[in-house]
Amino acid sequence: MGASYLTELSLRAGLQCFPKLPTFKTDTQSSKGTGLGMRGGFPVAVGLVSVGNTSSVAAMVCFRKQGDVLQLEAALKDLPDFKGFAVRRTIKVQNDQVVFSWPYTLKKPSSESVVALLDSVIAVIKQFVPAHDGKCDDCQSATVSSVTLVNNIPGFHCAGCQARLSEAKEREAAEYASRSAQYPQGILFGAGAAAAFAVAWAVLLNWIEFGSNTWYPKLHIAVSVLASMFVAWAFFKGAGKVNRTGQLLAIVLTLVGKFGGDAIFYARVLADQWHIAFNSHVVGFAITHFWALKLTFYGGWSIVLLLSDLGFAAAIPWMPWGKIPKFQPTFVAVQGDKLVPLQVGTMKTASAAGLS
């Protein structure tokens, strides 16, 4: 269904459809194919994207990097399609591209309406940014007639500028690799974040669950994600580098933060059941008997919650806040209905497999 819609939208916009090209994919957003080509003198891409349970039709208009896009941004956001409290469409303006999203629930917006909005956006862009003039977007001197994808983003880049970008990224990668991770500082930051998170989680549980017969499993699962995000971010902020050892330490500290909050709450409940004051002795008991409590406190859900805690902590190396950065740029030439990977510099580029 999505592929047929993207094909229809691409044809109506005069673009070539590449069902597997992930132009709109980010760490937090999935991309389901791309329609690619020129429209109104600008490289244009359209696609289907999703963030969580929200699905959208997205469109991107690329142009030569600009020094100031404030006026362009104001003019675009003044379009009726993006104004009003009830309008769900959004637009984001950067110094070399404009991206708008049209969310939908069950029925996708008609291809005619998406193309009409795309043309309205291009018309405004033309008032502030010149269309492609046959020159390289980077050096503005070499003649370039065909679109090249740099990290899946369309533009006009000459061979010399591609080589310079690749060399710059190689130097950046070498500098990052030679940098030493500051583990003591990272552990200090991460431990502080874990302690703060443990207290905050215990306070939240005490507020919404203590003394009631209601609990919220979805909240517990969501908090597992928040723990990995907050603690890992703090650890890597202190360490100054993401590597395998740091990822392992971040996982351990994340579990300490989440389990610490659980233990404090268990202690609060036990103190109430035993009709004694909440104190360090009760907390110590909850810690020493943590696994017995963790595996039984919420009945059959206890195992599910434990697996959620372990799973989201273990997933840190694949999460945006815990991934080892990639410096390798990819260059792909657009040749009609084919995408041809280019070898630039000493870094290897992405395979063509699955792009078209």
| DSSP-assigned states of every residue in 195-207 | HHHHHHHHHHHHH
Domain count, the chain: 2
| Per-residue pLDDT band at 83 (split at 50, 70, 90) | confident
- In terms of domains, do 111 and 227 share one? no
* pLDDT at residue number 88: 87
* pLDDT at residue number 352: 42
- In terms of domains, do 99 and 209 share one? no
pLDDT tens, residue by residue, 3-53? 899 999 999 999 999 999 999 998 889 998 999 999 999 999 999 999 988
- In terms of domains, do 127 and 207 share one? no
Contact 5, 108 (CB under 8 A): yes
Q: Please work out, in degrees rounded to the nearest 5, the angle formed at the alpha carbon of residue 126 by the alpha carbons of 141 and 7.
A: 95
- In terms of domains, do 20 and 85 share one? yes
Q: Is residue 29 part of a domain?
A: yes
Contact 329, 151 (CB under 8 A): yes
- In terms of domains, do 85 and 184 share one? no
| Per-residue pLDDT band at 213 (split at 50, 70, 90) | confident
Q: Is residue 17 part of a domain?
A: yes
Q: Please work out, in degrees rounded to the nearest 5, the angle formed at the alpha carbon of residue 191 by the alpha carbons of 186 and 195.
A: 155
- In terms of domains, do 45 and 112 share one? yes
Residue 197's domain comprises 179-318
Q: Is residue 159 part of a domain?
A: no
- In terms of domains, do 192 and 272 share one? yes
Mean pLDDT of 109-120: 97
Provide the 8-state DSSP code for 135. B
* pLDDT at residue number 128: 96
* pLDDT at residue number 341: 93
Q: Is residue 167 part of a domain?
A: no
Q: Is residue 138 part of a domain?
A: no
User: What is the end-to-end Cα distance of the chain in Å, rounded?
Assistant: 18
Contact 34, 46 (CB under 8 A): yes
Contact 34, 18 (CB under 8 A): yes
Q: Is residue 141 part of a domain?
A: no
pLDDT tens, residue by residue, 285-342? 999 999 999 999 999 899 999 999 999 999 999 998 999 999 989 999 999 899 999 9
Q: How many CB atoms are closer than 10 A to CB 275? A: 6
CA nearest 4: which of 21, 25, 22, 19?
Answer: 19
Q: Is the four-CA dihedral 336, 7, 355, 132 of positive or negative sign?
A: positive
E strand or H helix at 100? strand 97-104
pTM for this predicted structure: 0.79
List the structure tokens of 37.
């080509």
- In terms of domains, do 296 and 241 share one? yes
Q: Is residue 106 part of a domain?
A: yes
Provide the 8-state DSSP code for 110. P
- In terms of domains, do 92 and 183 share one? no
- In terms of domains, do 122 and 212 share one? no
Q: How many CB atoms are closer than 10 A to CB 191? A: 18
